[in-house]
Structure 1
Amino acid sequence: MASTSFQPKNKSPSTVISFFKILLSKSLQAGTLKIPRKFSRIYGGGVPNPVYLKLPDGTQWKIDWTNHNGEIIFENGWKEFAAYYSLDQGHLLWFDYKKTSLFEVHIFDMSCLEINYPPNDHTDDDCVEILNKPPSPLRGGLRKRSVAPLSTPSKTKRLRSATKSRDVERGSQSKDTSLEMPVFSSSRQDFLDFSPGTSGFKALKEAEKFSSENPFFIVKIRQAIRSNRNFPASFFIKYFKNEVQKVKIRFEGNLFPAKLRYYRQNSTAFISSGWLQFAQASKLQPGDVTVFELVDRDDPVFETHIYRAKAFKSWSCGFQSLKAARNFKSENPSFMVKITQTNLPRTTAVIPVPFFTKYFARKKPNIQIKLRNKLLPAKLLYYPSSSAAYISAGWQAFVGASNLKAGDVCVFELVNGKDRVLDVHIYRAGRLLSF
């Protein structure tokens, strides 16, 4: 959820130079940022290299830049900065330059409000490190571990051999005895909601019961197919020395070579090469939770224990509602909006730009959302510069009237182009009802 904490300061034009950049997908894919040409032309000669970006959360990020045909381009360090703050197309960055190596930066999302910055620890809330007691030295062997019992209503499911990954296929009905643990915060969002009531939440609770004398951390899978995966930087610092560390990830007896990378300048850590192969082989899905247990420190090997979200079908889950919504068929044009814990409180909802440009580009922005037998007024907004379209005024009234919850999916069907009426079909997470 965005905040409105940003307050422009009184500043002298002679000492502070301000500019902003709206992010485009091309820049994000390239992993670089081109500073406005006029700024580079007038002030580029006095900008030190590297520079440091200071955020309202108190962090500073070291960025190396290059000069390309007289233009300053942020390169080394920028990609990690963008990943940490989950920068996306349409985000606006405000820069204040005081003719030193320091740029003060504020980030605004597509609602035009400043974002809530993650806590100052440069880590990932998809990652949790659990240390029940100070770790003892590891010498190659697999230490004895205790695991919370897993059961079904009829029988207890046996655990697989300790030489294989433990893949939990059924839910537990045992009492929740989750451990207290430090949570590594991040701004990662909009993939899967792990809030109470979801199958991902139940899988996480089961994973938190895992116990071992070996050090380990937990990773929540919000999006399975990615080329890399954040993990706690504090874990890397504690157990590894080099900034690039070769390791092996064990899944069901198979070893997958991988590399761990640590970026000292902003204290972030990733599983890089090897992650994608492991994720595909283990068939990770959003909502799954994986425990990475360091069972061999001399020749680093991580044993993996996967808790599958699909094992907890009795819990409401947005996957079911999304699957049902995708089966919607109509001769009328339509688009889909997924409701997450992140976008639920927002005053706008993102809609597909191609839908807007095809059916509303030359019409008035006023629309009507048909909810049961009621017509709720709303407005559409389109920003060509950032290629973004929204349902704006009227969205929160619709959310309240329809009692939307995280995990629900809305299909908006254009049933009357002349009067701009969108009939809504809501697929409820866990109930799969629509109207």
Structure 2
Amino acid sequence: MAAQDGPAGRKALLPISFFKIILKTNLQTLKIPKKFTERYGGGLSNPVFLKPRHGTVREVYWTKQNGEVWFQKGWKEFAENYSLDYGHLVVFKYKGTSHFDVLILDQSALEIHYPSCDQNLDYESDDEESDENLGEWKDQKPNQKSPLLSPQPHKKKRGENSAAQRSSLSLNRPMGARAQEVAEAFISSKSNPFFTVTISSYDLVRRTKGVPALEGYIENIDKYVKLKIGKKRSWDVKLIYRHTANVRRILSAGWSLFARESELQLEDVCVFELISRKEEKPIFQVHVFKRRN
């Protein structure tokens, strides 16, 4: 166990942990326990580095106000990426050199299922097309605009898919209580597999969107998929495969066009239903559940 100098020459043992309960008031900024900052604050760099399990190290900048240390720049984005909500508990394990391991528990006191990849990463690829290069996607109509309907989860009918069957069709356990609620209520009319995601601020400004691994459903190569809303609107989006521990699949070129033209908003929940597994271009029917105001 490592030691670090504390006030008045005291030796502070590492690692050391503290936790914070998430409230609506600390999703924008987060106050660090005073006793921790008194003992370790003198050695903290700015920014510090947060590392969730199965996640990527993130930089968070802090400020000092009236002798208290607050996480500010970068904390809001961290909270959004991991869908932190009222009642979540976040455990910070300080390992020294300004690095924290982070453990996140949901309202049921169980550890969350972390995203398959961080949603704010910008992946570069020599063959990755620009979103503005629309010539390859002839079936798209960039100027077409229509209000996006907000479908509701299908109501369960007597004798229809059981909860266990629905669970077996879901390809991920989504982040956030509302996304989990939508996934649990969703019923595919043809027993198609599906995954569920919550739209974050990064999804609306970046060119990429991390999605589940889709193992056994789509071969492990880069390829285009078709995203459909309703019967007439569709977009071709490049699905990139990355054989790494944290990142497996990324919706890339064409994603921002899809998000913009389908008028996705922060905290919308999307169900991606795999309705066709054609080798040349798998098709996902996208069901959008608008955020609650």
Compute the TM-score of the two structures, normalised by the length of structure 2. Answer: 0.49
- Highest CA radius of gyration, 1 or 2? 1
